[in-house]
Amino acid sequence: MNILFLLTGFASYDEAILISQFIDQLDETHDCACLSQLLPFSYTNTHPRIASGVFAEDKDTNSQNLQKLLEKHNFDLIVWGDIINFLLEGEPFNLSLNWLTEIDIPICILDYQDVLKIEQLETPSLENNNKYMTKISLDNFNNNVKTCHEVSFHHSNKIYVIKTCPPAKYENNNDIINLFSSDYMHQKLQPHILYWKKLEEFPLVSKYNLREVVDKDLKCNEDTKIIFLIFNPAAFLRTSVIENSFKPDIHYEAVKNLICYYLKILMMHNKINCQIFIANYPRLPNKKDYSLPLSPLDKKKSSLQIREIPLLTHELYTTLLKVSDLIITESNWHPALISSVMLEVPSIVIGSNVAIKEEKGVKKIVSDYTDMDMYVYQTLESLLKHNPASIFPYVSYPHEITFLPNINMVQNGYFYHITDIFNDERTISLFSELLLNKDYQSDLQTLFSSIKDRNKEALLAEKIVEIVIYD
pLDDT along the chain (471 residues), means of 10: 93 95 94 94 95 91 87 90 89 84 86 86 55 77 61 76 90 50 45 81 64 79 90 78 56 94 94 92 65 86 87 92 94 92 93 88 81 92 88 88 78 88 94 95 91 89 92 71
Rg (CA), the chain: 24
Residues 171-207 as b/e (b if ≥16 CB within 10 A, e otherwise) read eeeebeeeeeeeeeeeeebbbbbbbbbbbbeebeeeb
For residue 105, which amino acid is it?
I
The confidence score (pLDDT) of residue 180 equals 36
Q: Is 191 in contact with 120 (CB distance < 8 Å)?
A: yes
Burial class, 129, CB count within 10 angstroms (exposed 0-12 / middle 13-18 / buried 19+): exposed
The confidence score (pLDDT) of residue 181 equals 39
Kindly give the residue spans of alpha helices, DSSP state H, lying in 327-437.
335-342, 374-386, 424-436
The confidence score (pLDDT) of residue 432 equals 96
Q: Is 61 in contact with 89 (CB distance < 8 Å)?
A: no
Tell me the pairing of strands 347-351 and 326-329.
parallel
User: Who contacts 206 (Cβ-Cβ below 8 Å, separation ≥6)?
Assistant: 200, 322
Cα distances (angstroms) measured from residue 23 to each of 48, 61, 311, 349: 10, 28, 21, 27
pTM reported for the whole predicted model: 0.89
Helix (H) or strand (E) holding 53: strand 50-54
Domains of the chain and any CATH numbers: 2-198+456-470 (3.40.50), 203-436 (3.40.50)
For residue 424, which amino acid is it?
D
In 3D space, the residue among 408, 467, 458, 468 whose CA is nearest the CA of residue 166 turns out to be: 458
